[in-house]
Amino acid sequence: MSVGMTPRTRVTRDSTTAPRLAAHLLACFLLAATVPAQAVDTVTLTNGEEVEGAITSLAPGDVEIEQEPGGRPEKISIAAVRDVRFGDEPEGLSSGRALLERRDGPGAVAELEKIAKIELQEGVAGPRVRQEHAFVKVAAEALAAGPERRPAAITALAEFLDRNARSHHYYAGQELLGELLAESGDFSAAAAAYEQLDRGPLALRIRSANLQAGLLIRQERYAEAAREFAAAERIPMPELGKPSKNQLEQTSQELALATAISERQSAVLGKARCLAKTG
Segment 57-65 mean pLDDT: 97
With beta carbons less than 8 A apart as the criterion, state whether 41 and 53 touch: yes
Note the pLDDT tens digit of each residue in 214-230.
999 999 999 999 999 99
Q: Output the average pLDDT for the chain.
A: 89
Burial of 122 (0-12, 13-18, 19+ CB in 10 A): exposed
Q: Is residue 5 scored above 90 in pLDDT? A: no
Note the pLDDT tens digit of each residue in 23-42.
555 555 555 544 444 689 99
Instruction: Output the pLDDT for position 28.
Output: 52
Q: Is residue 240 scored above 80 in pLDDT? A: no
As a whole number of angstroms, the distance between CA 85 and CA 170 comes to: 16
Instruction: Output the pLDDT for position 29.
Output: 54
Note the pLDDT tens digit of each residue in 259-270.
999 999 999 999
Q: Which residues of 191-210 are buried (b: 16+ CB within 10 A; e: fewer)?
A: bbbbebbeebbbbbbbbbbb
As a whole number of angstroms, the distance between CA 125 and CA 70 comes to: 23
As a whole number of angstroms, the distance between CA 193 and CA 188 comes to: 9
